[in-house]
């Protein structure tokens, strides 16, 4: 066991962990002040729930053995392997389990932005547990555990499919099933604490170095490469979002900068360890206009209420990232990519990327419908009452107020 690798992956695991409370602040700042505690809590509860599920069955179902290329088995129930010696996953299987656990925490947390301000907390907890079981573990297995998506030769460096497309598509389906917020379209739902939004986005950026550079699996040149593509894409997307802001409204906004950097990180996630650094500028610069167009033009036409644009940012940004990987990947950077991307003259990888995106969407849609059906049955409807929605979910679900002595209606 290479202790340099161990040190880096341990560090990366802690970096990915901080992304979930970061996400909580990112989302919390975007909602109305009467719902910030509920929104933050939706991520925080997963730091407990998804961790325990992962230790008990999640890691085993994702990475132990293989059943039909779709899911793992239960041989590693309760992390039942020798943590000191097992090196099925280099440099150490227990370390790999710890690193991957952080991904299993943040992915369901991403979904919670779409259903903010109106979903019953009990239903959300139940849903995310079931969703982890039906959607996340199978997808992690298919992409990284030697399952079907790896077998067809598609690549996903740090989780464009597993994390972002899956959570983004789930967010879309769940937001449609849940229905719009009471005053959606009549009242404006504007962010109530923009500094919190940036605080969260900054923690996400910081943590994303572990997310992407840690996904190299070792303290090596590839990790350094992924670190640099990650930062470059985030930077380009931040700037291009500010440019759109300025062109459209005349003023660059902090919410725009925060959103831009996040979608830049989303887009580079599947590509970070496969594409040249110059292409990270293109991937990042283009993701902002793509997401901006989707959120400001397509979403209002379709009329669903994805409260914090989880699909618009993670779904659409993730799909662009998967496609961009098929465009710019180079076998010489990372031989896990068996073919070069489309811009280097080969369409093979590109087509397999498209196929992988399609399969991910299908798994997420079907899994979400099943989980929704079960949760609706057991928690008698997943939506809070009209009165509780007006009162705010902080009081109705948690009996706490974020700003008890502070005036403000936003």
Among 68, 186, 297, 301, binds another protein (CB under 8 A): 186
- The stretch near another protein (CB under 8 A) out of 163-171, 182-190, 193-201, 362-370 is 182-190
Name which position in 68, 250, 345, 404 contacts another protein (CB under 8 A): 404
DSSP label at residue 242: H
Least separation in angstroms between CB 43 and another protein: 21
Window contacting another protein (CB under 8 A); options: 6-14, 23-31, 179-187, 193-201: 179-187
* Shortest Å, Cβ 120 to another protein: 17
With binding defined as CB under 8 A, does residue 409 bind another protein? yes
How far apart (Å, rounded) are the C-alpha atoms in residues 151 and 105?
26
Question: How many Å apart are CA 271 and CA 331, to the nearest integer?
Answer: 12
Does position 44 interact with another protein (CB under 8 A)? The reply is: no
* CA dist., res. 80 & res. 189, Å (int): 47
Q: Say which residues have a Cβ less than 8 Å from residue 409's Cβ, sequence separation at least 6.
A: none
Question: 157, 361, 354, 339: which is closest to 266 by C-alpha?
Answer: 157
Least distance in angstroms from the C-beta of 176 to another protein = 23
Q: Name the token pair of 195.
A: 């500094």
Does 250 interact with another protein (rule: CB under 8 A)? no
Residue 187 binding another protein, by CB under 8 A? yes
Which residue among 132, 260, 392, 402 contacts another protein (CB under 8 A)? 392
* Nearer to another protein (CB atom), residue 255 or residue 398: 398
- Interface with another protein: number of residues (CB under 8 A): 15
Query: Does 401 interact with another protein (rule: CB under 8 A)?
Result: yes
Binding span for another protein by CB under 8 A among 12-20, 21-29, 195-203, 401-409: 401-409
In the complex, minimum distance from the CB of residue 91 to another protein, in angstroms, rounded to a whole number: 41
Q: In the set 85, 183, 246, 385, which binds another protein (CB under 8 A)? A: 183
CB of 184 to another protein, least distance (A): 11
Q: Tell me whether the omega of the peptide bond preceding residue 158 falls within 30 degrees of 0, making it cis.
A: no
Question: Residue 48 CB, nearest distance to another protein (Å)?
Answer: 17
Rounded Cα distance between 102 and 244, Å, is 33
Judge whether 224 and 56 are in contact, CB under 8 Å: no
The DSSP result for 383-400, as a single string, is B--HHHHHH-HIIIIIS-
The pair of three-digit structure tokens given for residue 209, joined into one six-digit string: 């170095």
Of residues 48, 300, 303, 408, which one binds another protein by CB under 8 A? 408
Q: Which of 386, 310, 261 is nearest to 43 (CA)?
A: 310
Q: How far is the CB of 243 from another protein (least distance, A)?
A: 35
Report which secondary-structure segment, H or E, holds 9.
helix 3-30
**Of the ranges 57-65, 141-149, 213-221, 392-400, which one interacts with another protein (CB under 8 A)?**
392-400
Length of the chain in terms of residues written? 410
Instruction: Enumerate residues 352-391 that contact another protein by CB under 8 A.
Output: 387, 390-391
Q: How far is the CB of 44 from another protein (least distance, A)?
A: 16
Task: Quickly list DSSP for 35-102.
Answer: GHHHHHHHHHHHHHHHHHHIIIIIHHHHHSS-BTTTB--STTTTS-S-TTT--SSSS-HHHHHHHHHH
Task: Name every residue whose Cβ is closer than 8 Å to that of residue 68 and which is 6 or more positions away in sequence.
Answer: none
- Which residues lie near another protein (CB under 8 A)? 182-183, 186-187, 387, 390-392, 399-401, 404, 407-409
């Amino acid at each position: 066991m290479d202790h340099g690798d161990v040190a880096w992956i341990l560090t990366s695991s802690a970096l990915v962990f901080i992304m979930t409370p970061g996400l909580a602040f990112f989302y919390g700042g975007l909602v109305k002040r009467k719902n910030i505690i509920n929104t933050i809590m939706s991520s925080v509860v997963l730091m407990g729930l998804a961790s325990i599920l992962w230790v008990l069955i999640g890691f085993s179902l994702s990475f132990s053995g293989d059943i039909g290329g779709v899911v793992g088995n239960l041989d590693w129930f309760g992390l039942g392997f020798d943590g000191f010696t097992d090196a099925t996953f280099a440099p150490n299987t227990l370390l790999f389990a710890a690193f991957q656990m952080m991904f299993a925490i943040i992915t369901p947390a991403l979904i919670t932005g779409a259903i903010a301000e109106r979903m019953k907390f009990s239903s959300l907890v139940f849903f995310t547990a079931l969703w982890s079981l039906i959607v996340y573990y199978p997808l992690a297995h298919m992409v990284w555990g030697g399952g079907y998506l790896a077998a067809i030769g598609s690549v996903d460096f740090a989780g464009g499919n597993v994390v972002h497309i899956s959570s983004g598509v789930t967010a879309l389906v769940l937001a449609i099933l849940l229905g719009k917020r009471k005053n959606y379209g009549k009242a404006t739902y504007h962010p109530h604490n923009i500094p919190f939004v940036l605080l969260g986005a900054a923690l996400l950026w910081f943590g994303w170095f572990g997310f992407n550079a840690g996904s190299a699996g070792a303290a090596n040149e590839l990790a350094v490469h992924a670190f640099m593509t990650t930062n470059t894409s985030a930077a380009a997307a931040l700037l291009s979002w500010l440019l759109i802001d300025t062109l459209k409204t005349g003023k660059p906004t902090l919410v725009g900068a925060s959103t831009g950097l996040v979608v830049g990180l989303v887009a580079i996630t599947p590509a970070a360890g496969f594409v040249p650094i110059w292409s990270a500028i293109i991937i990042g610069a283009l993701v902002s206009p793509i997401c901006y167009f989707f959120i400001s033009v397509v979403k209002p036409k379709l009329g669903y209420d994805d409260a914090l644009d989880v699909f618009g940012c993670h779904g659409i940004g993730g799909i662009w990232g998967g496609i961009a990987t098929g465009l710019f990947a180079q076998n010489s950077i990372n031989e896990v990519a068996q073919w070069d991307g489309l811009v280097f003259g080969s369409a093979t990888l590109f087509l397999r990327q498209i196929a992988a995106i399609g399969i991910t969407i299908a798994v997420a849609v079907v899994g979400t419908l099943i989980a929704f059906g079960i949760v609706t049955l057991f928690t008698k409807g997943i939506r809070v009452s009209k009165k509780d929605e007006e009162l705010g979910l902080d009081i109705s679900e948690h009996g706490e107020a974020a700003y008890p002595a502070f005036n403000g209606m936003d």
